[in-house]
Chain A
Amino acid sequence: MKLSENEIRKITYETIEELGTNVSQDVIKEAVKKKIESLNNVPLSSINESSGKVILTSFGLNKPGIVAAITSALGNFNCDIQDLSQRIIGDFFTIIMILDISSSSKDLKEIQEEMRKTAEQLNIKIYLQHEDVFRFMHRI
């Protein structure tokens, strides 16, 4: 997590108030450092996004087992599938899923990485993108 200057200033003021004005600068510096470090330990997923929704899109040559492979991989990361839709055109399939990853222990980047492996095994394409990009582009 990155703190803005104002946030750091606020933490510093709070620390000075707690410790009183009689302590040396070094003591305050140490205390502020500790506080910031403890803040930084907060896992990213809990402060990262307003909505944990992610849209998964997959294409490729149709064959048995694709939905099974994708969903079992997602299940392993505790991703909740909220909606799923599929089209088959000729030999090709398109799958779109809306996922809630807020209860997953992994963040979007890690899930993307894992799904990339699944995509390689099946020789299909899988994209995961945060929902916001679709909301911004298609909803006013």
Chain B
Amino acid sequence: MNYEFTEILETIRMTEIEHFDIRTVTLGISLRDCHDRNLEITKQKIYDKILKYGKNHVKNAKEVEAQFGISIANKRVSVTPISIPFDSLTAEEFIEIAKTLDKAAEDIGIDYIAGFSALVQKGMTNGERELIKSIPFALSQTKRVCSSVNIGSTKAGINMDAVNLMSEVIKKTAELTKEKDSIGCAKLVVFANAVEDNPFVAGAFHGVTEPEVVLNVGISGPGVVLDAIKEAGKVDLQTLSEVIKKTIFKITRAGELIGRKVAEKNGVPFGIVDISLAPTPAEGDSIADILKAMGVEDVGAPGTTAALAMLNDSVKKAGLMASSSVGGMSGAFIPVSEDMGMIRAVQAGNLSLEKLEAMTAVCSVGLDMIAIPGDTPASTIAGIIADEAAIGIINDKTTAVRIIPAYGKKVGEMVDYGGLLGLAPVMEVRTISSQNFVSRGGRIPAPMRSLTN
């Protein structure tokens, strides 16, 4: 036999027992040729283009799932940051565009479409300002559209005017979607150093340097890593790092295979594999459980950041060996609401916002899916975004804030979205003020790191 008995069983165990799945196959579609002086024609062009490339996306992905016996959790689409091709539009018109995206997503059978975005790390055009203004309305009037705004980069610094604007936008979005636990905020990401080929919604967009259309893959598999660590038993950390690397290598290889096959079926070029460990609310599919298996009593205990740093680094190293097209975020995600272990750590009082912030300095994204009290002032949210962006630009990495000021809710209450978005306990935020700092506005200059030439 070409394969060892144990190898075949290992694969079966990963796919059938340990929740190994491909988290997302995301079709990136450029909308740069869709502008027209007439808004109705623009909308038609957007709709037609998404349907042209995306209409068989779900069907093709399902066929590949059956062929290889590996499930693909999400089939999604990302588009060019909407503010770029449609810079001349007004806020009202941007809402119309969002509705068009929503309709197109519905008609091709996907749950989310991402790219209602603007890149304003250095400054804002009039169109970008209008798009940002429209976000709360666009997110509250659509179901499937996701939005992201990049407010800082290592090369440009942090645009504090945009940070202040975004904190107001987040508050407004929370208010407009208050009937559904402020769900709008779960579809809105504020980035520093956003990547152009990220397949993970809500923060995905099809960057301007990307081709006409491309297929990117995001892998997952915390359950597989968790079981490998448990099986390894009491070994030193170097050995443990090897165990993690071997496991990630295998799932990255599978991810690349699936991505290439789906791309082939769609007749579009294959882009990248994002080797992120992304949790789901399912039992055992948790990053927190991995950290605990590594040895900390609970997430938040001293040592958590170091454990996470090692996990994240091992994931990257193995991924690089396994695929020559690694991209996106590529690391471990630590969203609170989507990870049962994280939720429990918050509820037990073991994990605070400040510890989470420290953890984001060594893992792939940032403060993700965190619910805070609805009466948190916008200036405090701006402070949180600025802190996170600072970690990003100084360390030359992507950071993000997806925070939910749950309208009308207080510390200890829960927001519950069901499905993959999960549920989150409202976390405590310090009440001391950031007002005088953030209201200075302007731009935090680019750090030393930017001068690499």
Contacts and interface: CB of A to CB of B under 8 A. Distances in A.
- Interface residue SS majority, chain B: helix
Interface in A90-140: 94, 96, 98, 108-109, 112, 125, 127-130, 132-134, 136-138
A130 B12 contact: no
Contact of A137 (B9, B66, B250): B250
B90 interface: no
Contact of A57 (B2, B9, B67, B267): B9
A55 interface: yes
Given A3-B267, A57-B8, A128-B69, 10 more contacts: A2-B60, A2-B267, A55-B8, A57-B9, A85-B5, A129-B70, A130-B67, A133-B254, A138-B4, A138-B250
A86 to B, nearest CB: 9
B3 A134 contact: yes
Contact of B69 (A3, A4, A133): A133
Given A108-B66, A108-B67, A130-B68, A96 B267 contact: no
Contact of A83 (B1, B16, B257): B1
Nearest to A112: B66
15 contacts: A2-B60, A3-B267, A55-B3, A57-B8, A96-B5, A96-B8, A125-B16, A130-B69, A133-B254, A133-B257, A134-B3, A134-B8, A136-B253, A137-B254, A138-B7
Contacts, number: 74
Interface of A: 2-5, 55, 57, 83, 85, 87, 94, 96, 98, 108-109, 112, 125, 127-130, 132-134, 136-138
Interface string B232-270: 000000000000000000110110110000000111000
Nearest to A53: B2
Interface residues of B, number: 29
A125 to B, nearest CB: 8
B63 interface: yes
A98 B1 contact: yes
Interface in B47-76: 56, 60, 63, 66-70
Of B10, B16, B67, B250, the most chain A CB neighbours within 10 A belong to B67
A130 B2 CA distance: 14
A133 B14 CA distance: 12
A2 B57 CA distance: 12
B11 interface: yes
